[in-house]
Amino acid sequence: MINVTKTFFPPLEDYQKQTQRVWDNQWLTNNGELYKELSLKLKSYLGVNHIIPMTNGTLPIQIALNAYANQGEVITTPFSYVATTASIVWEKCTPVFVDIDPDHLTIDETKIEAAITDKTTCILATHVYGNPCHLEAIEAIAKKHDLKVIYDAAHCFGVTYKGTSIFNYGDVSTCSFHATKLFHTGEGGALFCQDETTRQEMWYRHNFGHDGPEKYHGLGMNAKMSELQAAMGLSVLPYMAHILAERKRVCSFYDQHLDWTKLSKFKLRADTTWNYAYYPVIFPSEVDLLSAKDKLEAHQIFPRRYFYPSLEDLPYINSKTCPIAQTYAKRILCLPLYVDLKKTELNLIIKQLNS
């Protein structure tokens, strides 16, 4: 069986070495030794200003929305994972969808201003498959209209734009450290911000609002990362060069051997160093996609329709249709991509697709 992804497991002895520290410290959560070490190592590895690792990748989005959105309208993209829109709704805000750029598949920055009203408080944009949004344009629009910018950068671990981490853009950026991501803590995620004042505000909010053991800064929730999650992160991080090299190998194989007369890819934004997070291919039609998917699955190959459906089709959303997002959501299939995907397996995938 060849699944769309496969979790990278570091050597068991590496994880046991880290978890032994947890047992020695007798400290399982709440800003423990391993958590602090992982925070510092990630800050250095990524070249970011401020980082708060959390227990998953959705809570950082909710926390940022809770701080900035004020139950207003949030301009966002329909071409993302459901967590992006669900977080807006959970925070009692209204998602306002803007269609996507057909080349980069990110929110179409030229359509954002037309969606702004006197109720708009935030822009929540997704860097799709690790491909950055048009950062400069979004920043200019937000500044002009006094809006906060939150980036769902769930796919962007290690991505840089113009030589700096993609996480160093926006008022807040978030990332997922889920088991399916190239860097993971089993479950996990992180919030990134640019100044100490914001970091302190987000820190309080991710820890029940605590300001010391007996005082409260304000409203908060429990989004703390445990020591066991941090132990996994510390075990995975030393293997990032290997993980990236393996994913690049697989992507290069697809690039060289797929029949590009029938398929196409998204356009990587200029000045971006990509992380090989996913390998989506675009079919001429949904009929072609479904035919290929059936044929692959008949050979125990399981790609994924990601993202599908377009989020304005969610049952709890009342929104106008975004036609470009609709057509791409129906025609994109993510191919298997993970460390140690064998050449024989890749050849089988290529054979079935090209036929």
Q: Does residue 223 have a pLDDT over 90?
A: yes
pLDDT of residue 216: 85
Q: What is the mean pLDDT of residues 264-281?
A: 98
CATH code for the domain defined by 2-98+106-238:
3.40.640.10
Strands 332-334 and 301-302: unpaired
Q: What is the mean pLDDT of residues 213-233?
A: 93
pLDDT of residue 218: 87
Give the global pTM: 0.97
Domains 2-98+106-238 and 240-354 share a fold: no
Bridge partners, 332 (sequence order) = 282
pLDDT of residue 280: 98
Angle subtended at Cα 166 by Cα 244 and Cα 333, rounded to the nearest 5 degrees: 55
Q: Does residue 215 have a pLDDT over 90?
A: no
Domain ranges of the chain: 2-98+106-238, 240-354
The Cα 337–Cα 125 span in angstroms is: 25
Looking at every residue in the chain, the average pLDDT score rounds to 97
The label of the residue with tokens 């996507």 reads 100
pLDDT in tens, 149-194: 999 999 999 999 999 999 999 999 999 999 999 999 999 999 999 9
Ranking 69-83, 200-214, 226-240, 326-340 by mean pLDDT, the lowest is 200-214
pLDDT in tens, 205-214: 999 989 878 8
**Could you give the strand order of the β-sheet that contains 148-152, starting from the edge strand earlier in sequence?**
50-54, 189-193, 172-176, 148-152, 120-126, 73-76, 94-97
Tokens representing residue 111 in the block? 């359509």
pLDDT band of residue 319 (cuts 50, 70, 90) is: confident
Element of type H or E holding 192: strand 189-193
Q: What beta strand segments (E) does the chain contain?
A: 2-3, 50-54, 73-76, 94-97, 120-126, 148-152, 160-161, 164-165, 172-176, 189-193, 272-273, 280-282, 301-302, 332-334
pLDDT in tens, 93-130: 999 999 999 999 999 999 999 999 999 999 999 999 99
CATH code for the domain defined by 240-354:
3.90.1150.10
The Cα 170–Cα 178 span in angstroms is: 22
Q: What is the mean pLDDT of residues 314-325?
A: 94
pLDDT of residue 167: 98
Q: How many CB atoms lie within 10 A of CB 84?
A: 25
